[in-house]
Amino acid sequence: MRSAIAEIRRLVDDLRPPAIDEVGLVDAIRQRADSLAADVAFEVVGATIRPLPAAVEVAVFRISAEAMTNVVRHSGASRCRVELATDLNGVPV
């Protein structure tokens, strides 16, 4: 039963990370950066992101998380800046 509950929670988290709703998109990305920051100092900038459709928020989170993971795995960098911005219509750029 515990295993099934853990699997259901993992699947739900995969659909929409709870951190997005708990702390907002930018802070959710910051949390992800903090969890990866073994050898890379991440800076996440973008405190004024306007509310976005849920699917867009998840996509931005997933793309950011994958990009940061790739920096850690493949770049050899010691620092990484992630900047989130929207255009005048609220579309992520």
DSSP code per residue over 15-50? HS-HHHHHH-HHHHHHHHHHHH-SS-EEEEE-TTPP
Is 17 within the bounds of a domain?
yes
Is 88 within the bounds of a domain?
no
- Distance spanning both ends of the chain, measured CA to CA: 43
Q: Provide Rg for the chain, Cα atoms.
A: 14
- Asked if 93 and 86 count as a contact pair (C-beta separation under 8 A), the reply is yes
pTM, whole model, 2 decimals? 0.76
List pLDDT tens digits, range 14-33.
678 889 989 999 999 999 99
Give the total number of structural domains in the chain. Answer: 1
Domain extent for 52: 2-83
Q: What is the pLDDT of residue 90?
A: 57
List pLDDT tens digits, range 37-91.
778 899 999 866 777 888 889 999 999 999 999 999 888 888 999 998 877 665 5
- The residue ranking higher by pLDDT, 5 or 43, is 43
Residue 41 φ then ψ, to 5° = -90, 110
